[in-house]
Structure 1
Amino acid sequence: MLRLVALCLIVLATPLGAQSYPEPADLTPAERAALRAEIRDRVFLTAQTAQTTAAGRALAQAAVRAAAGGGALAALLRSRQDGADRLDRLVADLAVAGQGSGANAEAEVRRLEREVRDQRAALAQMDARLTDEFPDFRELTDPQPLTVDEVQAALDPDEALLLTLTDDEFTYLWAVSKTAADWTRAPLPDSDVNDRIRSLRAQLSGDDGTRAGVAINAPRRRGQGFDRGTAHGLYAQVFQPLEHVFRDAAHVIAVVDGPWTSLPLSVLITDPPAGDDADPEALRQTGWLIKRHALTTLPSVSALKVLRRARDAAPADPAARRPFVGFGDPVLGYRLAALDGSEVPVPDDAVVTRGVYEDVREVADLAPLPNTARELRRLAATMGADEGALYLGPGATETAVKEADLGGVDVIAFATHGLLADGLPGLSEPALVFTPPAAPTTEDDALLTASEAAQLKLSARLVILSACDTAGSDGTPGAEGLSGLARAFIYAGARAILVSHWPVDDFAASVLTTGMLDRMTGDDPRRRAEALQASMLDLLQDRSEDRFAHPRLWAPFVVVGEGGDDRAR
C-alpha cells in the first residue's frame, strides 16, 4: 500500500513552485493548479487508507455512540463494536490454530471456523438493522477517508489538520486549514526519522531510554540537555514548508504515523535554537512548537468528522451527570510494608515517576506516589465534587473501578502507576495499578488491564490517565500509536483522553493535570488542547527549579480525541 501511495505522490509531491514536476505542457496556469489540487485530494484519500489503525477505528466507533446518545441506537452500536472486536480475536485465534497438526488441532480449527461464520452473520444482521432503522448512522459505523473539502467543513475557523505518511524513501505531509490546503514531501525515509526520534526519546524518558520509570531512591539527575538541533531539523525539513497553511491556526490537529507516533509534536522546534542545550534559560527561550499552537492527536482523519458530529448532538441532561470521579494514591511500597500503618516519607532528593523500574517483581513493591492524593483532591475541587467522588488509598482498588457507575461522569481521572506489557513477569498487556487485595482474584489482582478497561461504559468529556506510558504500547518508534491503554479508554467511550508518552515526574504530573482542568472550567473556559498548552507553558516558565525547563517535565502529555470545543464555534 505504501509503495502505491509513493508512486502517486511522485507526480506532484512538493509545494507549488518549489521545483519542476511532470505535467502536460499545454495546460494554462489555472488548469495546472486545478490538476495539482485534484491529485493532492486523491492521494490524501489514499494516504488515510494506508495508515488506518485499531485506535482510529475505536475512536470513530466511540464518537458514533456519543452522537447517538442513549437508547436503542447507542446499545446497538456498542453491541456491534463489541462483536467486531470479538471477530478480530476469533480470526487471530484461527490463524494460530491453523498452524497446528493432529485431530485436536483440526477440531479446534473447525470450531473456530464455525464461530467466525456465526459472528460474521451476527454482524451482518446488526448492519442490516442499522441500515433499516438508523440510516443516518450506518455511514459512520465504518467511516471512510475524508476529502479535503470534508476536512475543511469539519474544522473550526482557527484550526488546521496535519497528516503524515512515511515510507522507505520519503516523509509526506498534508496540511489543511479552513481555507487552504497543500502537501509536500521531504527526503527523509522512515529509518532516518526513526533514528532521530529514538535519539530524542532517549533524552525524554525518565531513565535514558528504557521503558520504565525511576526507582524511588534513584539519585536526581542534573544538567541533562535536549538535542534541540535534531528537534529543529525535523520540523524544518517536514513541517516548515507548509507553514503557510497552518501558521495562524491556534489549534492544530495531528494525525501522524510510524515513528512520529512516539514523539509529541510539542517538542519540535520552529526556529534555530540558541545557547547551550543544557542551559535552563536557553530551553525556556526556545521556539517550541507548543508556543505557537495548541496540539491534539487523532489516530485517523475520519475520526474528526464523527467527533464533530458527536459534539453537535443534543447534550444529556446536566442534572443527571456527575462532574468528577478520581482513583489514585494506591497503597504500595513502603506504605504497604509499614505494619503500624504509618507512611514512610519520600526522601527530598528522590525522583518519583509514575512508571516502574526494570527489577520490579510484584505490584506491592512499586513506589508510592506522594502527590496523587493532592492532585485528585484539587481536580475534584475544580470540578465542584466532594470527597465522595474520590477513591484513594485502600479505596483505590480495581474492584472499585469496575463496580463504579461511570457512565454519567464528565471527567474521570486515574493517578497511579502505568505498566507496559512487560512491566511485571507474565503481564501481557498494559495496565493501571491499584491497591493490592488481600487475596488476588480474577476480578481484582490490582491491575486494570487494557482489555478490562475497554469493557467500562463511559461517556466522559475527558479521561485523565495521569500515569506513565499511557499513550501507546511502548516507546518504540514505528509501533502502532495509541495501541494500549489509550485505545482501551477510547473504546470504552471517552470523548478525549489525556495520556503520556514517557514516565511522568510525580510532581509535574500533578501540576499539569490540575492546571489543565483549572483552565477548562474557569471563568474563561478554554478548549481541552488550549488548556493543556497553557499548563505546559506555565511549567516551562516556572523558574523555581531549573529542571522544569526540560521537555521531559512539561511535555509528556497529549490530548487524544476531541481537543476542541464541545460545541461548534
Structure 2
Amino acid sequence: MIRSLSLLILALLLTACAGKGPPAPEQAAGPIAMGRNMIGEECRALPTDSADGEAYALYCGLWEQPSGTIAVTQLYDPLPEAPDARARQLVLETNRTAWAGSLAQKAICQPAQPVPGGLLAQCQLREGGWPYIGISLVEGRRLVQADGIPAVADLMMAAPALLKAGPVTQQQDISALLRAALGDEALRFGRGDLNSFERLSEVGRLSNSVEDYAGAEAAYRKALDLQARALGPDSPGAGDTLMALALEVSNQGRGPEADALFRRADALLQKSFDKAARARLGSYMAFHAANSGDARRALSLGRDSSAIRRALVDDLEEQAGGGANRAVLGSLAAARGDLIHSLLLEATVSLRLEQFGLAEAATLEAATLFSRTRGLPPWWHARILGMQGLARAGKGDAAGGAALMSKAVASNKQLFGAGWPVASSMLELGRVYAQAGLDAEALAIYREALSMVAGLDTERGQLPLDRLIPFLDTLYRMAQAEPDRRAEFHAEMFTALQAVREGVVGQTITRAAARFASSDPAVSDLIRQQQDAVRSRDRLRIELASETAKLDGQRDRAREEALVKQLQEATNVAQGLERQLQAAFPDYARLTKPGPVRPADLSSRLRPGQALVQFAFGMAGSYGFILTDKGVFAYPVPISRAALQDQVGELRRSITPRAGVLPPFDLDLSYDLYGRLFGGATDLLSDVKHLVLVPSAALSSLPPALLVRDRPTARDYAGASWLVRDMAVSVVPSVPSFLALAGTTARASAPKPFIGFAAPPFQGRDTGGLKALGEECRTDAALDPALLRALAPLPETADEIRSIGGRLGAAPADLITGERVTKAAVRGAGLDQYRIVYFATHGLLPGELRCQSQPGLALAPPPVPPSSPADDGLLTASDIALLRLNADMVVLSACNTAGGDARLGGEALSGLAESFFFAGARSLLVSHWQVPSVPTVRLMTGLFAGEGDIAVALARAQRSLASDPASAHPFNWAAFTLVGAAPQSDKGV
C-alpha cells in the first residue's frame, strides 16, 4: 500500500515581511469584553505577545482555543483619500504585515473585496476547508486586521471601537453579506466544532503515519460526518476530507469504494477556490491508481500533479517578499510539501515500473526541497531516504541502497520506536538484501522486523503477504541449499506466515473486537485509555525526534529533557494499561492478539492421518505448507493470487445455474487446480484421512470437496475422483482458531437438540438485492429495512428446518420462521441451550467490506426504520461475537460465497466463522451457494444419522450423493463445508 505523506501540512513556519511603523500605544493588559458571537457565546479578546503593534486572541464561550485573532499596527502614512488609490494602498499595506503571513499559514483566501471601512476576504482553512474570513479596517494611521470563523465576523468588524483604537465611521453588520455568500450553516458552527474536527484529523494523520489505515479511515469518517452536520453535505471543504478518506480506503484495497469517494470529492472541489486542494486530489488519485495496480496511469497522474505543484512553487518563490497576498497565492512551505508528496509518488511508481533513474531523480528533488523547508513532518525525511535507497539498489548499487535505507530505519526508530513504520522500512531493507543475494543480512533484518510485528495489535499489525514473500523466498532458498536444516527453515517460514492478517478476515475480526469492547463499559473505558496513551506516546516521540533533528544552535535542551521525561512516562502508562487490559479481559485479548503459533504446537494437536494445509498466495510467488504430527513441509505453488482468482471464478461459474439449467462442471480445470495446489506435496498426502485446510484469497470461496485428484476421462461426475472420496475435509478460518478449537476443554452438552431460523419475509425477485446490500455504506447507522425486503425470498427453507429439526427431535417452538426471525428473537432464544443452531437465510458475504461494514446474516426486516442498528435485521459478525453459544454445530444453509457485490466472498465467510467460534460454537457447516432443499435434507439426514467424527460423516454423506447419477453434479452435494474441529457426534446430534 502507498502511504499519504501530506494529508494536510500543519504548523508551517513562514517569515513575516512587514516593516515597522511608528510606535504603537500600549495594549490593554487584561481581557476585553467583545460581546456575543452569532451562536450566542460571550467572547473576549486576550492580549498576546507581538513584536509589531498590538495583538489579541479572540476567545468565545468556554473554549480554550481562539475563534479568531486581531492585530493592530501603525501605518507609515495615512491612506490616500481617492477611493481607488486608497483601496490599492490598503491591499499593499495589508499584505506586508505579519498578520498576513499568519493568515496564509492557516487559510487560503479569495482576493479581498471592499466593505465599509476596509476589506473583507472569504477564506477556507487549509485543514478541512472550513469557512474562514479575513478583515482589514483602517482609521487614520491605524490598521486593524482580524481573522476568524464567520460566527465572530460582526465582532471583528467592531474591533477598532471595542479595542479603543478609535471609532469606525462606517461600521456595519456583515452577517447578511456572509450569509448570502457562505450560507446559513457557515455562521452557525463554533470553535467546539473545529476542535472536534482537528482532533479527528490529527488522529487520522497520526494513524496514517504509522500505516494504520483502518484507524485513519475511522477518524476521517467521523470528521466527515461532523463537517456534514455543521456545514451541510455539499460543503466544498468536505472535498478535502473526502479525498483523505478515499485514499485510506484505497490503501486497504477497496478500489470501487475509493472510486466513488474520489468522485464525490471531485464534485465538491470543483466549487472550491483552493487550487492546491484540486492538485492534491490529482495526486491522491495517482496513489489510488498505484494501489489498484495501474502503475502507468499512476505515473502519468503523478507527473501531471508534480508539474502543477512545481509551477506553483516557482510562482511563490518569485513573489516571496514582494508584498503579494500570501493567503491568496498560498503558503510556499505548504506548496513545497505538496510537491514533495507528488515526487515521492513518482518515485514509488517508477520503482514498480523498474525505471530506477526516474525514481532516483524524483527522490533527489524531494530531498532538496525538504532540506530547504522548515516545519515539514519529520518522518518525511526517512521516507525520502528509503525511496532513494530503493532507487539506488535498483540501479545495481545494493550496498549504497542498503546504507541509505539503514539511515531511514534509524530515523524511523527515533520517531516511532519499535512500531509498524520501523518494521515496514526494515522489510524493505530485507528485500534489498535478499535481491542482492545477501541472505544472512536479509534474514537478520527480516527476523527483527517480524519480532516487532508480533508485538503490534491487530489494527496496527496488518502485514500484507506480499511484503513477506521475499523473506519466504530467502528461507526456502536456504532450505534447499542446506538439506540438514530444511525442517528448521520450513518451520520458520510457516511461523512467519502467521504474522499476516490482511483483507476481509482481519477487518472482520478487528471490528468484532471493537464491538465486543463497546458492549462492556469497563472494557471500552480501559481500551480508550490505552489508545489515548499510545497516541500520546507516539506524538511525544515525534516531537522529541523533531527537536533533536534541529541544528545545534536551534535546539532547546530544556525542551528535549522535558520531552524525554514525558515520553518515558507516557510509555510506562501505555505499557501498564496494555498489561491491565490483557489480564482483565482475556476474551478481548484473544480476538486482537491471538499470540504466536509454532509448528510444534500444531503438530502435537494433529492426530495420525490428519494434516493441516495452509497456502500463501502472492502477486508473483506462492507457497503451500503441510503439517502433520511429524512436522511441517513447505513447497512452492505455481499459481499467483490473480490466476487463482480467475480459476476459482471459472469453477464457480460452472456450478451456477443459468436460466434454471446447470452448466457442465469443468472436471479438467478442477484437476488442474488440484495439481497446482498439491502437486508439490503428493507423497505427503498418501496416508492422510482428514485434511484440515486454512483457506485464503479466492480459495476461501471454493469448497475443497469438489477438487479432482486424478485426471478425468469423461464428463462422469459419479465416477470422478473427488477429493472427498479419499479423505474427510474441513476448514478453519485461521491457524490460531484451529489451536483454540483443538484445545477447547470439554463442555457439558446443551440439553436441547435443535433450533432453526428460516424463511424471513423477503420480497425481492432476483439476486439484485444482495448486490445492493453489499454496496450499502454502513457505519454506525441502522440498515434501511427496504434493502433487506429486496432480497429474494426463501420459502422452501421453512420446510427444510421442519424436516431436519423433526428428525432430530426439535420442539415446534424451536422452529422459527417468517416475521419471527428477528435479531431480538435470536438474542432472546437462549442459544446456549441448543446443540445445533440452524440459520437458513441469506448471508451477506461481500468480497470487500465497505465503509466499516461487516459480513452478516439477513433476518426479518423491521416494519419501520429502526433508530439503532441493534434492531435493524442484519445479524453482523459483531452481533454474533456477543452471543453465547454451546453448540456442537452452527449451520448456515443459504449462504453464497460468490459475494453479493460480484466478487468472491469466501474471506468474509471466514471472518464470520471466527465470530461464531468466539461466541462458543465448536463447528460450523456452511454453504458456498444456495442448494435446493431436497438434496440439502438428504445431506443433513446422512450427516446426522450415525456416530463418529462429523467431518467423516459429512464426507460419507457427500460421497453418497456424488455416487448417485441423479445428484452427482457437484452443485447438489459440494456446497457444504465443515468449518472447525467438532467433537465426535452421537445419534442425538
Settle same-fold status: TM greater than 0.5.
yes
- Assess, with a 3 A threshold, how the Cα gap between structure 1 residues 138 and 413 changes in structure 2: closer, same or farther: closer
Counterpart check, 1:300 vs 2:734: yes
Cα offset for 1:273?
A: 1.0
Counterpart check, 1:22 vs 2:481: yes
Residue type of the alignment partner of 1:482: L
Which residue of the partner structure matches residue 127 of structure 1?
Answer: 582
Which residue of the partner structure matches residue 412 of structure 1?
Answer: 837
Does the CA-based 8 Å contact 1:159-1:249 persist in structure 2?
Answer: yes
How does 1:159-178 map onto structure 2 within 5 Å? Answer: 159-178=610-629
How does 1:100-115 map onto structure 2 within 5 Å? Answer: none
- Assess, with a 3 A threshold, how the Cα gap between structure 1 residues 59 and 463 changes in structure 2: closer, same or farther: farther
Which residue of the partner structure matches residue 208 of structure 2?
Answer: none
Cα offset for 1:413?
A: 0.4
Counterpart check, 1:391 vs 2:816: yes
Residue type of the alignment partner of 2:734: S
Cα offset for 1:358?
A: 5.8
Residue type of the alignment partner of 2:740: V
How does 1:32-43 map onto structure 2 within 5 Å? Answer: 32=483, 34-43=484-493
The worse-fitting range, judged by mean Cα deviation, of 162-171 and 360-369 is: 360-369
- Assess, with a 3 A threshold, how the Cα gap between structure 1 residues 309 and 449 changes in structure 2: closer, same or farther: closer
Question: Following the alignment from structure 2 to structure 1, what is the Cα–Cα distance between the partners of residues 677 and 573?
Answer: 47
Counterpart check, 1:220 vs 2:660: yes
Which residue of the partner structure matches residue 758 of structure 2?
Answer: 328
Question: Following the alignment from structure 2 to structure 1, what is the Cα–Cα distance between the partners of residues 600 and 656?
Answer: 39
Question: Following the alignment from structure 1 to structure 2, what is the Cα–Cα distance between the partners of residues 496 and 454?
Answer: 14
Residue type of the alignment partner of 1:127: Q
- Name the % identity: 31
- Assess, with a 3 A threshold, how the Cα gap between structure 1 residues 490 and 58 changes in structure 2: closer, same or farther: farther
Counterpart check, 1:538 vs 2:960: yes
Question: Following the alignment from structure 1 to structure 2, what is the Cα–Cα distance between the partners of residues 80 and 307?
Answer: 28
- Assess, with a 3 A threshold, how the Cα gap between structure 1 residues 85 and 453 changes in structure 2: closer, same or farther: farther
* 1:403-444 residue CA offsets vs partner (Å, 9 max, x unmatched): 211123221001123345599x99954443334444453454
Does the CA-based 8 Å contact 2:769-2:788 persist in structure 1?
Answer: no
Q: What's the secondary structure of 2:498's corresponding residue? A: helix
Q: What's the secondary structure of 1:476's corresponding residue? A: coil
* 1:106-140 residue CA offsets vs partner (Å, 9 max, x unmatched): xxxxxxxxxxx999976542323479xx9xx9899
- Assess, with a 3 A threshold, how the Cα gap between structure 1 residues 475 and 366 changes in structure 2: closer, same or farther: closer
- Assess, with a 3 A threshold, how the Cα gap between structure 1 residues 206 and 15 changes in structure 2: closer, same or farther: farther
Residue type of the alignment partner of 2:948: R
Question: Following the alignment from structure 2 to structure 1, what is the Cα–Cα distance between the partners of residues 478 and 577?
Answer: 48
Counterpart check, 1:146 vs 2:571: no
Cα offset for 1:538?
A: 2.2
Question: Following the alignment from structure 2 to structure 1, what is the Cα–Cα distance between the partners of residues 804 and 574?
Answer: 43
Residue type of the alignment partner of 1:388: A
RMSD: 4.4
Question: Following the alignment from structure 1 to structure 2, what is the Cα–Cα distance between the partners of residues 130 and 432?
Answer: 27
Does the CA-based 8 Å contact 1:371-1:507 persist in structure 2?
Answer: no
Residue type of the alignment partner of 1:35: R
Counterpart check, 1:502 vs 2:929: yes
Question: Following the alignment from structure 1 to structure 2, what is the Cα–Cα distance between the partners of residues 205 and 118?
Answer: 56
Structure number with higher helix proportion: 2
Which residue of the partner structure matches residue 10 of structure 1?
Answer: 473
Which residue of the partner structure matches residue 552 of structure 1?
Answer: 971
The worse-fitting range, judged by mean Cα deviation, of 323-332 and 34-43 is: 323-332
Residue type of the alignment partner of 1:47: L
Residue type of the alignment partner of 1:7: P
- Assess, with a 3 A threshold, how the Cα gap between structure 1 residues 414 and 241 changes in structure 2: closer, same or farther: same
Which residue of the partner structure matches residue 342 of structure 1?
Answer: none
Which residue of the partner structure matches residue 29 of structure 1?
Answer: none
- Assess, with a 3 A threshold, how the Cα gap between structure 1 residues 562 and 80 changes in structure 2: closer, same or farther: farther
Q: What's the secondary structure of 1:10's corresponding residue? A: helix
Question: Following the alignment from structure 2 to structure 1, what is the Cα–Cα distance between the partners of residues 772 and 585?
Answer: 51
Question: Following the alignment from structure 1 to structure 2, what is the Cα–Cα distance between the partners of residues 454 and 10?
Answer: 37
Cα offset for 1:394?
A: 4.1
Question: Following the alignment from structure 1 to structure 2, what is the Cα–Cα distance between the partners of residues 428 and 56?
Answer: 13
- Assess, with a 3 A threshold, how the Cα gap between structure 1 residues 118 and 231 changes in structure 2: closer, same or farther: farther
- Assess, with a 3 A threshold, how the Cα gap between structure 1 residues 125 and 475 changes in structure 2: closer, same or farther: farther
Higher Cα Rg, which structure: 2
Question: Following the alignment from structure 1 to structure 2, what is the Cα–Cα distance between the partners of residues 8 and 499?
Answer: 35
- Assess, with a 3 A threshold, how the Cα gap between structure 1 residues 368 and 481 changes in structure 2: closer, same or farther: closer
Question: Following the alignment from structure 1 to structure 2, what is the Cα–Cα distance between the partners of residues 122 and 471?
Answer: 42
How does 1:173-192 map onto structure 2 within 5 Å? Answer: 173-179=624-630, 181-192=632-643
Residue type of the alignment partner of 1:221: V
- Assess, with a 3 A threshold, how the Cα gap between structure 1 residues 52 and 297 changes in structure 2: closer, same or farther: farther
Residue type of the alignment partner of 1:510: V
Residue type of the alignment partner of 1:154: R
* 1:470-497 residue CA offsets vs partner (Å, 9 max, x unmatched): 6978673597453554344333332211
Does the CA-based 8 Å contact 1:431-1:448 persist in structure 2?
Answer: yes
Which residue of the partner structure matches residue 609 of structure 2?
Answer: 158
* 1:159-193 residue CA offsets vs partner (Å, 9 max, x unmatched): 11111111122221111222354221033222222
Question: Following the alignment from structure 1 to structure 2, what is the Cα–Cα distance between the partners of residues 479 and 470?
Answer: 5
Which residue of the partner structure matches residue 371 of structure 1?
Answer: 796
Does the CA-based 8 Å contact 1:158-1:249 persist in structure 2?
Answer: yes
Question: Following the alignment from structure 1 to structure 2, what is the Cα–Cα distance between the partners of residues 164 and 195?
Answer: 17
Cα offset for 1:292?
A: 1.6
Question: Following the alignment from structure 1 to structure 2, what is the Cα–Cα distance between the partners of residues 491 and 306?
Answer: 10
Counterpart check, 1:45 vs 2:464: no
Question: Following the alignment from structure 1 to structure 2, what is the Cα–Cα distance between the partners of residues 362 and 11?
Answer: 50
Question: Following the alignment from structure 1 to structure 2, what is the Cα–Cα distance between the partners of residues 119 and 531?
Answer: 50
Question: Following the alignment from structure 2 to structure 1, what is the Cα–Cα distance between the partners of residues 923 and 932?
Answer: 22
Q: What's the secondary structure of 1:163's corresponding residue? A: strand
The worse-fitting range, judged by mean Cα deviation, of 436-445 and 137-146 is: 137-146
Q: What's the secondary structure of 2:935's corresponding residue? A: helix
Question: Following the alignment from structure 2 to structure 1, what is the Cα–Cα distance between the partners of residues 652 and 724?
Answer: 17
Does the CA-based 8 Å contact 1:354-1:503 persist in structure 2?
Answer: no
Question: Following the alignment from structure 1 to structure 2, what is the Cα–Cα distance between the partners of residues 303 and 414?
Answer: 22
* 1:506-533 residue CA offsets vs partner (Å, 9 max, x unmatched): 44333333432x24xx3xx132222222
Which residue of the partner structure matches residue 457 of structure 1?
Answer: 884
Which residue of the partner structure matches residue 99 of structure 1?
Answer: none
Which residue of the partner structure matches residue 213 of structure 1?
Answer: none
Cα offset for 1:154?
A: 0.5
Does the CA-based 8 Å contact 2:772-2:787 persist in structure 1?
Answer: no
Question: Following the alignment from structure 1 to structure 2, what is the Cα–Cα distance between the partners of residues 58 and 428?
Answer: 9
Does the CA-based 8 Å contact 2:760-2:819 persist in structure 1?
Answer: yes
Which residue of the partner structure matches residue 111 of structure 2?
Answer: none
* 1:286-339 residue CA offsets vs partner (Å, 9 max, x unmatched): 1111222211111222222221210xx2423x4x632221111334449xxxxx
Residue type of the alignment partner of 1:126: L
Question: Following the alignment from structure 1 to structure 2, what is the Cα–Cα distance between the partners of residues 130 and 220?
Answer: 51
Q: What's the secondary structure of 1:538's corresponding residue? A: helix
Cα offset for 1:463?
A: 0.8
Counterpart check, 1:232 vs 2:652: no
- Assess, with a 3 A threshold, how the Cα gap between structure 1 residues 59 and 315 changes in structure 2: closer, same or farther: farther
Cα offset for 1:401?
A: 1.3
Q: What's the secondary structure of 2:824's corresponding residue? A: helix
Which residue of the partner structure matches residue 283 of structure 1?
Answer: 717
Question: Following the alignment from structure 1 to structure 2, what is the Cα–Cα distance between the partners of residues 257 and 81?
Answer: 35
Question: Following the alignment from structure 1 to structure 2, what is the Cα–Cα distance between the partners of residues 555 and 355?
Answer: 25
* 1:371-424 residue CA offsets vs partner (Å, 9 max, x unmatched): 32232123323433221222123433333112211123221001123345599x
- Assess, with a 3 A threshold, how the Cα gap between structure 1 residues 422 and 555 changes in structure 2: closer, same or farther: closer
Does the CA-based 8 Å contact 1:354-1:417 persist in structure 2?
Answer: no
Question: Following the alignment from structure 1 to structure 2, what is the Cα–Cα distance between the partners of residues 161 and 543?
Answer: 32
- Assess, with a 3 A threshold, how the Cα gap between structure 1 residues 420 and 84 changes in structure 2: closer, same or farther: farther
Which residue of the partner structure matches residue 433 of structure 1?
Answer: 858
Which residue of the partner structure matches residue 69 of structure 1?
Answer: none
The total of aligned residue pairs comes to 466
Cα offset for 1:462?
A: 1.0
Residue type of the alignment partner of 1:396: V
Question: Following the alignment from structure 1 to structure 2, what is the Cα–Cα distance between the partners of residues 427 and 139?
Answer: 21
Residue type of the alignment partner of 1:415: A
